[in-house]
Amino acid sequence: MSLLAFDDRDGQIWMNGQLKPWRDCNTHILTHGLHYGSAVFEGNRSYGGKVFKLEEHTERLFASAALMDMKIPFSQQEINEACNRVLEANDIVDGYLRPVAWRGSEMMAVSAQNTKIHVAIAAWSWPAYFKSEAISLGWAKYRRPSPESAPVHAKAAGLYMICTLSKHACEKEGFDDALMLDFRGQVAEATGANVFFVKDGELHTPIADCFLNGITRRTVISLARDLGITVNERVIMPEDLADMQECFLVGTAVEVKPVARVGDYHFQVGDISNQLVDAYSKLVRA
């Protein structure tokens, strides 16, 4: 991952309907999205110059905005076209795109009825999220909230606060990431990816009822079924990991990444994990 600061780069960003020089795309310090977390975003990857599942990502961006009482002032088609323009303008073939929508500076209080909704799309080259063949996860301190406590099915900026804190804490302990439980104490997801386990040749994954049912999650479930692998969406408790043979994370950024360890539980990088790593890699580059 590049160490170049994200506010000081060459290139162009699409912002509120037009391409602008990267360094000129700024917003005011008194912006509602900064102070109150009123922002939604997407993370898209491009392979060979084409955004994988672009339409699905844009649909989710609009669904997240609606859950956050925000109306994006562009059509989904306009956002799709803008994503492709940003890729072309920055000459990116294999990269990452970040569409984001946020409330502006017209009001500075909890209430934000009259704020303007701004939209921007940036893109940059981004290699593998994790470098090692298999990663390690610690247990997160914080838990995914109940649907009665937060708009859990929105990809909203504010919901990632506990992810950052959890990842930082586990990194300090020598882990690559954190595995989060939900408000009931059930296994939920990692800080930015869904989790799967393998037991006796079948896949097991938590029910996505209080966290994002990720686009990559749905893709991997479809790939597994095409390969004849049974998929069980079920309640998984932390102690159930003792019976699992394999584990891997899935997400747009992480793609499909085997996990060697969760806390004191250890896993092999087995046949099913490798099958799905290969199947996903072939699909996104097809």
Instruction: Tell me which H or E stretch contains 265.
Output: strand 265-266
The residue among 263, 269, 217 whose CA lies nearest residue 242 is 263
131 contacts 254 by C-beta, under 8 angstroms: no
Rounded Cα gap, residues 157 and 40, in angstroms? 6
| DSSP-derived pairing of the beta strands 231-234 and 202-206 | parallel
DSSP 198-215: EETTEEEEE--SSS---H
The pLDDT value recorded for residue 1 is 44
The pLDDT value recorded for residue 130 is 79
Cα 187 to the chain's mean position, in Å? 17
Token couple for 115: 């704020």
Which residues belong to the active site?
155
155 contacts 41 by C-beta, under 8 angstroms: yes
Q: Which domains does the chain have, with CATH numbers?
A: 12-125 (3.30.470.10), 135-284 (3.20.10.10)
Q: What is the full per-residue pLDDT of the chain (286 aa) written as tens digits?
A: 446 899 999 999 999 999 999 999 999 999 999 999 999 999 999 999 999 999 999 999 999 999 999 999 999 999 999 999 999 999 999 999 999 999 999 999 999 999 999 999 999 998 777 777 899 999 999 999 999 999 999 999 999 999 999 999 999 999 999 999 999 999 999 999 999 999 999 999 999 999 999 999 999 999 999 999 999 999 999 999 999 999 999 999 999 999 999 999 999 999 999 999 999 999 999 8
Rounded Cα gap, residues 113 and 36, in angstroms? 13
Token couple for 37: 């977390």
Token couple for 104: 């502006």
For residue 11, the one-letter residue type is G
Judged by DSSP in three states, 23 sits in: helix
Phi-psi region of 262 (alpha: psi -120 to 50; beta: other; left: phi over 0): beta
Instruction: Tell me which H or E stretch contains 262.
Output: strand 255-262
The pLDDT value recorded for residue 280 is 98
